[in-house]
Amino acid sequence: MTTPVHGLAGGTVEPPRARRALVAGSVGNFIEWYEFGVYGYFATIIAANFFTPEGGSEVEALVKTYASFALAFFFRPVGAVVFGRVGDRIGRRPTLILVVLLMTVATTLIGLLPTHATVGAAAPWLLTLLRVLQGLSAGGEFGGAVSIMTEFAPPGRRGLYGAWQSFTVALGLLAGAGMAALLATVLSESELNGWGWRLPFLLTLPLGLAALWLRLRLEETPSFRRTARAQAPDAGGAPPGPPAAAPAREVAKAIALGAGRLMGWSAAGYTFLVVMPSYLQNTLNATFQQALTATVLANLGFAASILPAGALSDRIGRRAVMVTGAALVAVLAFPLLHLLQDPAASTAAKSLAVFAAGAVVGLMAGPGPAMLAEMFPTRARYTGLGLAYSLSNAVFSGCAGLIITEAVERTGDIDIPAHYVVVTCAVSTLALLTLRGDDHRRALRD
């Protein structure tokens, strides 16, 4: 017989249900970040196919590609509000089903789009429209996934359960990088540029169908059901209604603070894990394969540290682990970049450096989801944590490629990525110091 696990916020969660929620929540994140990784890794090829009319500049096309990338991020907060409101009123399960359907359709269609050579100026607009749909769905994904992971988490394991969201981000980015590296190895350059880049996007269709099946089997979270019952008109068996809204000023303050706490993770994560391939190719003249290898190593370091960091935060607190991560990124950013720029540095040294860069970002990403979940009551958690994360990502992740590429082009300063990461992590450290040391021991608020 299965022994139920008593949650910190009341009620019970049986281990199989908790594990099922973990898998169902993780799979959507995997698909989302697999696609965003693929788009980043194939940025130069996408630029050539969609944003480079005859005689156009390659750098200008890459900037436009990253502008489309950033636009999708700026629709994430919109998705966080729209889907978050639905998720806080009618439930996490139906909202997450809708979100994964939208993401799957939009990503699959990217793999079928005609290029600039076929339809001319319509090509970049069609691509941008699908990126907007992806941004909306991605904005609704994070809040729901983290809500079900942390609301189903057994006592004392909220940091570890929430860390699975970040871990599947790493897995998605690694899968995207692995697919890009595989295609670059088995296909010729002309085949890769002509049709091979489409394959990773088309692979989203079977992945999305698997995610849909898992989410259809998902149950509603105990926290949401309990809060909904408390709002029922009477206790005599009336069907539970939607939870009452949390005070708007309290939620808005928490959203702003949450975005500040995440900005270092957002900026450093995308700089080291996604933008790096294009930077290495366009600024340091690395080959596509060399750039992908460096990115895979950085993502391996990221993946290796996330779950241990989440588990450690359950023991010593979110503040200690996340502040350490932000401070280390700020300290190591310039030495790392200078090592990559040094032609005399050994391949082993450069490999170790990018692995370490990913690992220190993981110290922020591991405890981050649980930290956000603990900032909001159940009746506003989906919206609040999703919006805080989306705003931070829109500004500091989505714009990373655009800012770095444009700034390097205009100034000639190849240290721009380090400047960007140091400033954002310094500000993030100040925001993280406002965390209470015992937040990890407190029950989630209803």
pLDDT digits (tens, 9 = 90+) for 288-325: 777 778 878 888 999 999 999 999 999 999 999 999 99
Helices within 111-203 (DSSP H only): 116-119, 122-151, 158-186, 189-191, 198-202
Taking CA atoms, 434 is separated from 254, 319, 388, in Å, by 12, 8, 16
pLDDT the model gives residue 56? 54
In DSSP notation, 405-430 reads HHHHHHH--TTHHHHHHHHHHHHHHH
Q: What is the pLDDT of residues 74-94, one digit of tens each?
A: 888 999 999 999 999 999 999
pLDDT the model gives residue 59? 65
C-alpha angle 38-39-42 in degrees, rounded to nearest 5: 80
Give the HSE-up count for residue 347: Cα atoms under 13 Å, Cβ half-sphere: 5
Taking CA atoms, 349 is separated from 269, 274, 394, in Å, by 21, 20, 33
DSSP bridge pairs for 6: 12
How many other C-beta atoms lie within 10 A of the C-beta of residue 129? 15
How many other C-beta atoms lie within 10 A of the C-beta of residue 343? 5
CA 3, distance to chain mean position in Å, is: 34
Q: How far apart are CA 434 and CA 261, in angstroms?
A: 9
Q: What is the pLDDT of residues 313-359, one digit of tens each?
A: 999 999 999 999 999 999 999 998 888 888 888 878 888 888 998 99
Q: What is the pLDDT of residues 350-398, one digit of tens each?
A: 888 889 989 999 999 999 999 999 999 999 999 999 999 999 988 887 7
Between the two ends of the chain, the Cα-to-Cα distance in Å is 30
| Strand bridging mode 12-13 / 5-6 | antiparallel
pLDDT exceeds 70 at position 254: yes
Torsion of CA 276, 282, 283, 288, to 10 degrees: 60
CB 407 within 8 A of CB 417: no
Mean pLDDT of 254-277: 87
CA 310, distance to chain mean position in Å, is: 16
Predicted TM-score (pTM) above 0.85: no
Residue 203 has phi, psi (to 5 degrees) of: -65, -20
Q: How far apart are CA 414 and CA 318, in angstroms?
A: 34
Domains, the chain, in order of start with CATH, read: 14-441 (1.20.1250.20)
Dmax over CA atoms of the chain, in Å, equals: 76
DSSP bridge pairs for 12: 6
Residues 6+ apart with CB under 8 A from 116: 49, 50, 51, 52, 53, 123, 124
